[in-house]
Structure 1
Amino acid sequence: MCNINNYIKIKYQKRRSFMVIGGIKAILFIVAVILVVGIIGAYSYHFIRRIVNLILKNKSSRYKKILSIILAVALVISLIALFGVWSVAVLYVLLFSIFVDIVYFIVCKVSGKKNKTCEVIYRSGIIPILIGVIMTSYGYYNMHRVVETDYTIYTDKNIRSEGYKIAFISDLHYGVNMDGKQLEKYCEDIEAQNPDIVILGGDIVDENTSRKGMYEAFDELSKIKSTYGTFYVYGNHDKATYARKPNFTEEELDNAIKDSGIKILADDSVTINDQITVTGRKDKSFRGDNLREPIDELIVNTQADSNKYNILVDHQPGDFDETDNAGYDVMLSGHTHAGQIWPGGLFIKTFIKDTLCYGHEKFNNLDIITSSGMAGWGIPVRTEENCEYIILDIKPE
């Protein structure tokens, strides 16, 4: 009885601590949003006021000031209300306007030289507007173009002479950049590579995917023929964690995956030919009773050993030191979208430690591969890297 009470007490304390941490994070997020909106609003006023002063030279200063404030407020509201391609375009215009401001200050203010034509071009805002439109248009086109990315890894472990070919798909976020027919086409392209194993690395669906779309996505993906089957690892969006009213339940999602013949790996593994293990981790965003196992316990419980080639699939790239020490040979991840919208990738590389934003790197004995994903989250714009699926060849040395 005492043990049961202690268990309940510990469980209650953990849940309470998660609630406190969650509350603090929510407050910090709200404060951050207010600050960002305030900064965007202030600079929008500066940018618009410059254009208004150029166009309405004969109007009073008071009139131009009031008009600029109204337009700046309307612009900020539209960023939130029309969240999507429009938001990206406006933010790019404002971002490149800052660069133009810096160049203008250096050339005209510091040097003391002024050119009437340059002054008009600067005040009109035409340069950042053009760059913003071009960048956003390219990003929209790039989001709707999926490429194949190939990697080859050699191992000294005892695997068959022809090696193994793995198709890795992550971050489809179904509904952002393709419909059922387009997904069917890409699945046919993947199948044409004759993969031995298909791995779905999480965030195949998200909060914006309809219930019908969720079933459609897994139905199409399950049609990819492979030698040893298709395996699925959850991401942080699949279960519509961030939606107040999800379009589908966790049970419906689980059933859709399993009924399509796809095996879910959640701190679980599968062994192939007694040569390769594929282990899928629960996502690190999971909380409460769904916490994932420590990596050193996971490799023991899943019966991976040093004689086999051990593949770890973890939606969010990280914990490289622990993964390497545990004895895994390669880690497959997604999640980052390679930044998706510039300068997102630069931000990740600069400020987020113990992660790989994109590509293939070697960490001691561990090969790390992070995919940019087959789509992106929320906004159908990508100005960082390409949308992709990965074909990984593991070959004996």
Structure 2
Amino acid sequence: MYQYIGLIAVLPGIVYFTFFINRFIKTILNYHTNMLIILVIGLVVSMLSLPAINTLELYGVIYYHLLVIMLILELLNIILKKFLIYRFIFTTGVLAIIITALVLGYGYYNIKHVIPTTYNLISKKISDLKIIEIADLHMSTSLSVLQLQEYCNEISKEKADIVVLTGDIFDENTPLDDMLNACKVLSTISNKQGIYYIYGNHDNGSHAFKDIAFTPEDIRKNLEFNGIEVLDDEIVTLENINIIGRKDASFWGTNPRLSTVELLAKIPDDKKDNYTILLDHQPLDLEENASLGIDLQLSGHTHGGQLFPMGIVQTLTSDTLVRGQRNIDDFTAITTTGMSGWRYPIKTGAPSEYVIIKVK
């Protein structure tokens, strides 16, 4: 699928870059081109463009950013070409290269710079509850184990009641040693009532593009060895809190799992009125969960739209809660942008974050 999308995007890229270089040769180098030269330019451009068909690699990200920025500047050129300085720096490609470098440089800084985001909620069922949510670490994409330890030390200062890890903490590119060490590090986060983990579409093995260094069972084993409870269509009932951990729906939403109704039925009768938190890696079934009396749903998965403007497009074309908070009567859903991103260490669409939720 990704390669088909890449092919559709690369074809106009080949045409445009061929046109751009031909114009550069004629206007800046003042050299007359003929059909043979244009064909040679097109062949070279094609050779440089075809690797970008793989939209999941860094080369493709750089290619498409450059292409889009050049097309935007092309439109501006219609208005600004009367200014010699603009026409020159645009036609030479200098301006596009500088802007692309700045955008991608910002994306690299943004994915590496993790900030806390705080939500203040009100509930009639519970007060003075503090929750830490961590999602989409995609361990080793942008965070080392040492950096993770530094953030966990910072998070520990919050003295949370519970900590939830809402999926894609690891992925198919995480080395085995990093998975093992990250489990230990995450277990050091200070808490009063436990750390709870659910699988995402990457760390459950359903989205692997290559052989993964460990299995979902290995993840469970090492998390539980370090005192972190794994919930895979399972529930935990505490004194005044219910925690429902859903099995991930998989990237394509095809992974069989229990319904919210079936999971709610597992809650003992004397705990039905507890403050109920549902953990679902993907922000799904918000309306349904609100109607069933869930108090809080915590999700990740979207990365806030890792590359701009993906988040805006997804928000405009679907009902997905890409990032932030949504209230439906007494129900609240929160989707975190995650502490990292997938595949490449660039994130231009949203900040990297961990979430602090205070319920009063």
Partner of 1:98: 71
Q: 1:117 to 1:393 in 2, by over 3 A?
A: closer
Deviation at 1:299, TM superposition (A): 1.4
Partner of 1:175: 140
Q: 1:260 to 1:287 in 2, by over 3 A?
A: farther
Runs of 4+ in 1 over 6 A off after TM superposition: 286-289
Partner of 2:20: 47
Identity of aligned residues (%): 34
Work out the CA distance in 1 between the residues paired with 2:297 and 2:54: 39
Deviation at 1:81, TM superposition (A): 7.5
Partner of 1:142: 110
Partner of 1:245: 211
Matches within 5 A, 1:73-92: 73-79=46-52, 84-92=57-65
Partner of 1:125: 93
Work out the CA distance in 1 between the residues paired with 2:99 and 2:11: 24
Higher Cα radius of gyration: 1
Whether the aligned pair in 2 keeps the contact of 1:54 and 1:124 (CA below 8 Å) is no
2:186 counterpart (221, 241, 254): 221
Deviation at 1:67, TM superposition (A): 3.8
What secondary structure does 2:121 align onto?
strand
Work out the CA distance in 1 between the residues paired with 2:120 and 2:171: 30
TM-score (norm 2): 0.91
Q: 1:50 to 1:390 in 2, by over 3 A?
A: same
Partner of 1:363: 328
Whether the aligned pair in 2 keeps the contact of 1:54 and 1:120 (CA below 8 Å) is no
Partner of 1:324: 290
In structure 2, give the amino acid aligned to 1:103: L
In structure 2, give the amino acid aligned to 1:342: F
Whether the aligned pair in 2 keeps the contact of 1:371 and 1:389 (CA below 8 Å) is yes
Whether the aligned pair in 1 keeps the contact of 2:323 and 2:334 (CA below 8 Å) is yes
What secondary structure does 1:312 align onto?
strand
**Which 10-residue stretch deviates more, 244-253 or 374-383?**
244-253
Q: 1:166 to 1:263 in 2, by over 3 A?
A: same
Whether the aligned pair in 1 keeps the contact of 2:131 and 2:162 (CA below 8 Å) is yes
User: Which structure dedicates a bigger proportion of its chain to helix?
Assistant: 1
Matches within 5 A, 1:342-353: 342-351=308-317, 353=318
Work out the CA distance in 2 between the residues paired with 1:354 and 1:118: 41
Deviation at 1:223, TM superposition (A): 1.4
Deviation at 1:245, TM superposition (A): 1.4
Deviation at 1:258, TM superposition (A): 1.6
Work out the CA distance in 1 between the residues paired with 2:359 and 2:149: 26
What secondary structure does 2:339 align onto?
coil
Which stretches in structure 2 are left out of the alignment for 5+ residues?
none
Is residue 242 of structure 2 the alignment partner of residue 269 of structure 1? no
Paired residues, what number? 358
Work out the CA distance in 2 between the residues paired with 1:240 and 1:250: 6
**Which 10-residue stretch deviates more, 207-216 or 90-99?**
90-99
Partner of 2:261: 296
Which stretches in structure 1 are left out of the alignment for 5+ residues?
1-25, 109-113
Matches within 5 A, 1:54-73: 54-73=27-46
Whether the aligned pair in 1 keeps the contact of 2:235 and 2:263 (CA below 8 Å) is no
Deviations 1:1-31 (A, max 9, x none): xxxxxxxxxxxxxxxxxxxxxxxxx6xx554
Is residue 210 of structure 2 the alignment partner of residue 210 of structure 1? no
Whether the aligned pair in 2 keeps the contact of 1:146 and 1:388 (CA below 8 Å) is yes
What secondary structure does 1:311 align onto?
strand
In structure 2, give the amino acid aligned to 1:301: K
Deviation at 1:179, TM superposition (A): 1.1
Work out the CA distance in 2 between the residues paired with 1:382 and 1:97: 20
TM-score (norm 1): 0.83
Q: 1:286 to 1:259 in 2, by over 3 A?
A: farther
In structure 1, give the amino acid aligned to 2:114: V
Whether the aligned pair in 1 keeps the contact of 2:166 and 2:199 (CA below 8 Å) is yes
Partner of 1:390: 355
RMSD value over aligned CA atoms? 2.4
In structure 2, give the amino acid aligned to 1:77: L
Deviation at 1:49, TM superposition (A): 3.0
